[in-house]
Structure 1
Amino acid sequence: MELETVPGVGARTAEQLSVLDDPERALREGDVTTIARAPNISEGRAARIARNAIRERHEDQAEFLQTDRARELYQSALSLLQERAVTDHARKHLETLYPSTTRSRIEEVRAFVTEAIDHEPGPAVIEALSDVSPIESPTELRVRERCIATADAETYARAEQQFPALSVELVDDARDLSELARGYSTVIAVDETFAGLDLGENVRVRPDAFDRVDEIVPERLLAFFATNRDRLRAAASVHEIAGLDPPCDLDTLDGCLERLNGDGTITGDDELARLQRALDDLDAAIATAERVANDQLREAIQERDVTIEGADLLSLVEQGARVDSLLERELSEEFTEAIEAAREHLCETLAVEEYDAIAERVFPDEPAFPVERRPETVSQLRSELTAARDRRAERLKSDLASELSVLRDPAETLVGRALELDVKLAISRFAREFDCTMPIIDNDGTGTNTGVHIEGGRSPLLDVPFRAVEPVDYAVEGNAILSGVNSGGKTSLIDLVGFIVILAQMGLPVPADHVRLERFDSLYYQAKSQGTLDAGAFEATLRSFGDLVAGTGTRLILVDELESITEPGASAKIIAGILGALNEQGATSVFVSHLAEEVQVAADIDVQIDGIEAIGLVDGQLEVNRSPVKGRLARSTPELIVEKLATADETEHQFYERLLARFDDPE
């Protein structure tokens, strides 16, 4: 997929996306988290880019949601899904689901959903998922104890680009390499011309370095695993608990991670730890050894009476002798013992026998008081220990990187599958909690008008517990007016119709026992207006209906009490005219209206009227059959109240009967 073919991805955005390892894959799979890693791309923008990429792949550029209320229903559906996800990744990924008008996209999601709803969202898996997050790229890496060396300017430029973690040095000859080796524990010479030369222990000639980047810079691979160590372990735990087949051996992976510190350094190696301890303890060990020698000498001097003949003292003074000479003459044996004690303490403390010879030279053989270290020898010892530690660490890093190299791609897959499981479990939880089923979608260009058929539908959008929602049956083919008492559930019913259609065209299960519908090209939902509109707003509303009836394609239109926008008489004529136009186009529509009879009279076509019937009043509360009755005008609340009074009030019985008769014959 070419980046700039995706709507909304121009040259600048394509440049931002190009820094990703595989931007084409991220767009193709709608990977919001990966897209959001690109510079200056927010998560919201990443979700839009991912959706646009999916639309481009399915040639699905039509906008299904045509009104604010339709978009609100979509957001409600999306929120219910996202609330059941554990990770941010899953919540972002779910944003790539949208009501599509193309069969290929709907079927793609349905295939994913069919697999998803088979997963059991147990509490242990949910808890394990809480520790999983997407793979992260390590922060900028810099390795200072190793460098790349070359005598060629073009190779120098290539090395700088391919080995950003290392210093790259330009040399003229082997002598320059030897000089360079004094400042680095390892020098990697990449020119074939240096092969076969005696360049020293810490100079390696590797003409194949450009093909062995992870071997030359194992820290790069180790940094990846160190940065993502907790994520990998959490993902491994999810696989074990959920019974997923892992893409690699989890024990091998965990064993490798056990040898890695969080900063990418090696742990668990006794030899490396021994060298590191020696370096860490060096200054303190030398200071303590100095005290051992000086305390021993001080005690010897205090206990010893030194007698010097006058002639000898005069001779020593004339020769410019210091106390050192006196020590050598009078306390030679004691000085030797003190120095030996200091050396023994230092060697035992450092515990690096192979460097004892250097450690012993830290303290001089020449008598002196106080005893002091030789700084140049200390520097040599520190350099030797540092080089030994770095060489050991480099070998261990290379060995571990070699083992981890085959686990790099499986590691990403391991985390990716755990995160994908969270997406699936969110869908599974949604389907289980709302008793969903997969809808049957008809009309693939055959011209058949199936409309919408719902059996046992229950809305999750109501402000009551879902289990307390009364299931409803409803079907509409063509155009219908939905009548019913106030608070009888008319708006909730068309909300449910729109909600189910949106979910179905997202490829998702729907909250009903059985649903069959056609694949619509657009959803238009005109919500109830809050009060009569002024002339300008009324004109704008009529224009929107003008655009609607002028459109093409299979459409579902839901309208809630259009009569509220103007006078009832005019509203009935307007609704009748709109229904006539929609009927000519074969659209499917449901108009909620209290003017059903008036519309039926004003219409030039046969208008189907469905009614949500009130069964009666019990303790002042309306009892309603929430499933509309086809072809029946619902009785109003006033009629029910008059009926109740006609049967219950003995004193005014005839009066209420006359009122009740007017409902049967309004003329």
Structure 2
Amino acid sequence: MDLESIPGVGEKTARALEALDEPERALRRGDVATIATAPGITQGRAARIARGAIRQEHDDPGGFLATDRAREVYREVLGLLKERTVTDYAAQRLETIYPSPRRSRIEDVQAFAREAIDRDYDDAVLEALEGLEPLRNPGDVRVRERCLATTDAERYSEAKEAIPELSVEIVEDAQGLAELARGYSTVIALDESFAGVTLEGDVQVKPGALENPAEVVPERPLSFFARNRDRLQAAVEVHQAAALEPACDLAALEDGLSRLDEDGTVAGDDELDRLTTAVDDLDAAASAAESVANDRLREAIREQDVTIEGSDLLSLVERGAGVDSLLSRELADEYAAAVEAAREHLIDALDLDQGESEIARRAFSDEPAFPVERDEAVVSRLREELTAAKERRAGRLKRELAADLADQREGARQLVRDALELDVELAIARFAREYECTMPEFVESEARGASEDDGAATESDDPVGFAIEGGQSPLLDEPLEAIDPVDYAVSDVALLSGVNSGGKTSTLDLVAGVVVLAHMGLPVPAERVRLRRFDDLHYHAKTQGTLDAGAFESTVREFADLAQGGEGSLVLVDELESITEPGASAKIIAGILEALSENGATAVFVSHLAGEIREMADYDVTVDGIEAVGLVDGELEVNRSPVKDHLARSTPELIVEKLADEARDDAVATNGGAPDGEGDPEPVFYDRLLEKFD
């Protein structure tokens, strides 16, 4: 796949995508999470790139949504799906599902949707999804306590490239290694010539280190798990709650994660915790030990009666002796006890082992002095020993943990991808169940099926535009139980008539919503739907007021283009007559219908001028009607399913009919129940008006 040929992908973005492990696979699958890990690419941009790649893969020209209202319908149904997602990822991933005229694309999504609508879910699954997020890149890893050493300049360059996480040093001989060992906790010599050399400190000779970087820098694989620890744990919880088949050993992954902190350090090891605490608390513990010794000495001095004869005092002064000599002579035992207390406090506070304790004891001298002070050189030596022991312990534990998790990385990635995709599937499943959806059936004419390379879902000689049974528009702001099911089928070009507020626009919205969802490859809100695969959808909403000359000209031009090349189009138009004067509108609409019919398009025009248009058309225009049953307490009772080949009565006709019936009833009552009120002037007037509707 040529990345730069994808719409919206330039040279810079292509380079970013090439940084992914399998960019083509991610693009073909619409894997927004993986694409978004490329440098500088957000989730929203990843969705747009994926959509462009999918269009390219299926040779999809785009432009299925040919009008503003068509695009609005798509955004509305997409919004309903996105409302049922839990993660941001799933909402962005749904952006890659768009209405397409291509059979291959529709069938790809249909296969995904069929599995999705069979998914079971409960509150526990949805709660588990709340903690889920796409994986993050671990970022740059830098280890400062370890270094690589070599005598060869070429080897030096190879090491810098292979293991950038560590410093690489050039040394001339073993003495150079020894000097490095004083500055680093661990030195790894890359030259075989250093084998057998014994040096103080942690110096390891590993000539093959560059071939196995993870052994030298276990932080590299561990950083992935550390940075994504909570996200991986959330994915585990999703799999457990939803009973998904995991892509890796969940128990092993959980065990590994439990031994790893978010900062990449190994957790749960008592010895490492002891050493870490000792290093962190050393200065504070040494200061506290000083205080212990000095407090004990002060107390001893306060309680001790010290008598010095003049000759003794003179002798001490002549020798230049000070308080130290006095302490040595008069308080030797008390000083020794105070120093011992300081040593024990330091050892106990840091929980030092035997070897560490020997160093710690030297931090306080046996030579009397007041105040008692620690030997900073000894404390520094103790710090170095503790730090080196900590790093050795941490390094070994990291290597062991990295080895345990090494085989889990790709499985862990798939674990998160599967959990995120589950949210996408459940959004579709929730939508399908809440709106009682079914998968639509695509039916193509034999001629079209034979002429197109991508074939047809089902070939048929029967002309089919769309046929909806029991459809309930998801675009209505009403609960499902309050929406009357609608049956409606159109195979060519039809006028849709009906009373005001009878549901004509809602019927167009239902048709548009069903067609959009079907071409997205998703379930539709109906008991059954059969339709042809349309090339594009032209939905013209009702115009507010009469258009000026320029806008009128533009609208007519648009329909002229449809008349020339709209064979595979679905055209939905709501009250086009509002664009100009009623008389002219009827003539224009009649001409448009003639052209669309000749061209083989499928169209539904909602109009209050259905009768006039039918009279002006030069062929037998199909007129369907949403029939009002009558008026009850001033409210229309309507059969929401359009009646085929039926010009529906208008609201004014129903009102006049109601007035005529009431007038007759009043006349009968006035004449004592005799049915001779027909000659009364009021009923005669209403009857005359009714005759005008015939």
Q: Does 1:148 align with 2:148?
A: yes
Alignment partner, residue 660 of structure 1 = 690
Work out whether residues 363 and 372 of structure 1, in 8 Å CA contact, stay in contact via their aligned partners in 2: yes
CA distance in 2, matches of 1:345, 1:456: 84
Can you list the C-alpha shifts for 1:523-573, whole angstroms capped at 9, x where unaligned? 111221111111111111111111112225511111111111011222122
Distance 1:299 1:599 in 2: 115
SS at structure 2 position matched to 1:372:
coil
Instruction: Give TM-score, length-normalised by structure 1.
Output: 0.95
Instruction: Write the letter of the residue equivalent to 1:396.
Output: L
Indicate whether 1:595 and 2:609 are aligned.
Answer: yes
Change (3 A) 1:315 1:225: same
Range with greater deviation from structure 2 (30-39 or 1-10): 30-39
Change in 2 beyond 3 A, CA 1:41/1:346: closer
Which of 628, 634, 647 aligns to 1:633? It is 647
Offset, 1:423: 0.6
The 8 Å contact of residues 30 and 54 in structure 2, kept in 1 or not, is answered as: yes
Q: Which residue of 2 aligns with 1:398?
A: 399
Contact persistence 1:191–1:205 (CA under 8 A): yes
Counterpart of 1:377 in structure 2 is 378
CA distance in 2: counterparts of 1:262 and 1:622, whole angstroms: 65
| Number of equivalences | 664
User: What is the CA-CA distance between 1:230 and the residue it aligns to?
Assistant: 1.6
Name the residue aligned to 1:271: 271
Distance 1:498 1:434 in 2: 16
Give deviations 1:402-441, integer Å, cap 9, x for gaps. Answer: 1111111111111111111111100000000001001100
Q: Secondary structure at the match of 1:459?
A: coil
Q: Could you tell me how far 1:578 is from its partner in structure 2?
A: 1.4
Q: How does 1:56-455 map to 2 (within 5 A)?
A: 56-352=56-352, 353-443=354-444, 445-446=449-450, 449-455=463-469
Q: What letter matches 1:100 in structure 2? A: S
Maintained 8 Å contact 2:181/2:201: no
SS at match of 2:625: strand
Listed as ranges, the matches of 1:573-592 within 5 Å are 573-592=587-606
Compared CA separation, residues 457 and 322, structure 1 to 2 (3 A): same
Shift of the 373–199 alpha-carbon distance from structure 1 to 2, 3 Å rule, reads closer
Q: Which moved more, 1:188-197 or 1:108-117?
A: 188-197
Aligned to 2:553, the other structure's residue is in SS state helix
1:166 deviates by 2.3
Per-residue deviation at 1:33?
A: 3.0
Alpha-carbon distance between aligned partners in 1 of 2:80 and 2:632, rounded to the nearest angstrom: 35
2-structure distance, mates of 1:539, 1:158: 71
Task: Please state if 1:647 is matched with 2:688.
Answer: no
Aligned CA RMSD, in angstroms, stands at: 2.0
Contact 1:163–1:213 (CA<8 Å) still a contact in 2?
yes
Could you tell which deviates more after superposition, 205-214 or 404-413?
205-214
Looking at structure 2, the residues matched to 604 and 239 of structure 1 have their Cα atoms a distance apart, in angstroms, of 64
Deviation at 1:140, TM superposition (A): 3.4
Q: For structure 1, which segment, 208-217 or 268-277, has the greater mean C-alpha deviation from structure 2 after superposition? A: 208-217
Corresponding residue SS for 1:573: helix
1:267: Cα distance to partner?
1.9
Q: Which residue of 1 aligns with 2:586?
A: 572
1:55 aligns with 55
Is the contact made by 1:70 and 1:498 (CA closer than 8 Å) also made in structure 2? yes
Give, as a single letter, the amino acid of the residue that structure 1 aligns with 2:422. L
- What residue in structure 2 maps to residue 489 of structure 1? 503
Quick check: 2:33–2:135 contact (8 Å CA) kept in 1? no
Report how far residue 65 of structure 1 moved.
0.9
CA deviations over 1:42-82 (Å, ceiling 9, x no partner)? 43322211100111111212421111111111111100100
User: Which residue identity does 1:285 align to in structure 2?
Assistant: A
* Stretch of structure 1 that moved more, 199-208 or 371-380: 199-208
Distance in 2 (CA, whole Å) between partners of 1:623 and 1:513 is 23
Q: CA deviation at 1:192?
A: 4.1
Distance 1:456 1:619 in 2: 28
Work out the CA distance in 1 between the residues paired with 2:59 and 2:560. 28
The equivalent residue for 2:512 is 498
Amino acid at match of 2:596: L
- Which amino acid in the other structure matches residue 360 of structure 1? R
Counterparts of 1:508 and 1:614, CA distance in 2: 33
Which structure 1 segments of 5+ residues have no match? none
- Contact (CA 8 Å) 2:77, 2:474: kept in 1 or not? no
CA deviation vs aligned residue, 1:193-251 (integer Å, no higher than 9, x gap)? 44443344412222332332222222232222222222122211111111111222222
The one-letter amino acid of 1:88's match is: D
* Percent of pairs with identical residues: 63
CA distance in 2, matches of 1:5, 1:257: 41
Structure 2 residue aligned with 1:17: 17
Q: Deviations over 1:103-154 (max 9, x none)?
A: 1111111111111001123111111111111111234332211122233444
Instruction: Give the distance between the partners of 2:606 and 2:560, measured in 1 at CA.
Output: 19
The equivalent residue for 2:457 is: none
CA contact (8 A) 2:323 2:369 kept: yes
| Change beyond 3 A, Cα 1:5–1:490 | same
Partner of 1:546: 560
SS for the counterpart of 1:241 is helix
- The alpha-carbon distance between structure 1 residues 13 and 192, as it changes in their structure 2 partners (threshold 3 A), is same
- Return the letter of the residue paired with 2:279: L
Normalising by structure 2, report the TM-score.
0.92
SS at 1:362 equivalent: coil
Tell me what 2:535 maps to: 521
In the TM superposition, residue 386 of structure 1 has moved relative to its aligned partner by: 1.0
Q: What amino acid sits opposite 2:17 in the alignment?
A: L
In 1, Cα distance between equivalents of 2:190 and 2:104: 52
Q: CA deviation at 1:602?
A: 1.7
Distance 2:51 2:343 in 1: 72
Shift of 1:642: 1.3
Secondary structure of the structure 2 residue equivalent to 1:663: coil
Secondary structure of the structure 1 residue equivalent to 2:149: strand
Q: Distance in 2 between matches of 1:458 and 1:65?
A: 22
CA 1:398 to 1:504, structure 2 compared with 1: closer, same or farther past 3 Å? same
8 Å Cα contact 1:33-1:92 kept in structure 2: no
Q: Equivalents in 2 of 1:41, 1:273: separation in Å?
A: 39
Contact 1:2 1:24 in 2 (8 A): no
Alignment partners' CA distance in 2, 1:196 and 1:602? 105
C-alpha contact 1:147 1:166 (8 A) present in aligned 2: yes
Distance, in Å, in 2 between the alignment partners of 1:517 and 1:532 is 34
Task: Read off the aligned partner of 1:539 and give its amino acid letter.
Answer: E
The alignment partner of 2:529 has SS state of strand
Which stretch of structure 1 is more off in the superposition, 88-97 or 356-365?
A: 356-365
Structure 2, unpaired ranges of 5+: 452-460, 668-679
Determine the structure 2 residue equivalent to 1:604: 618
Distance 2:96 2:324 in 1: 85
Q: For residue 8 of structure 1, what is the amino acid of its counterpart? A: G
Q: Which residue of 2 aligns with 1:26?
A: 26
1:310 Cα deviation from its structure 2 partner: 4.3
CA shift for structure 1 position 378: 0.9
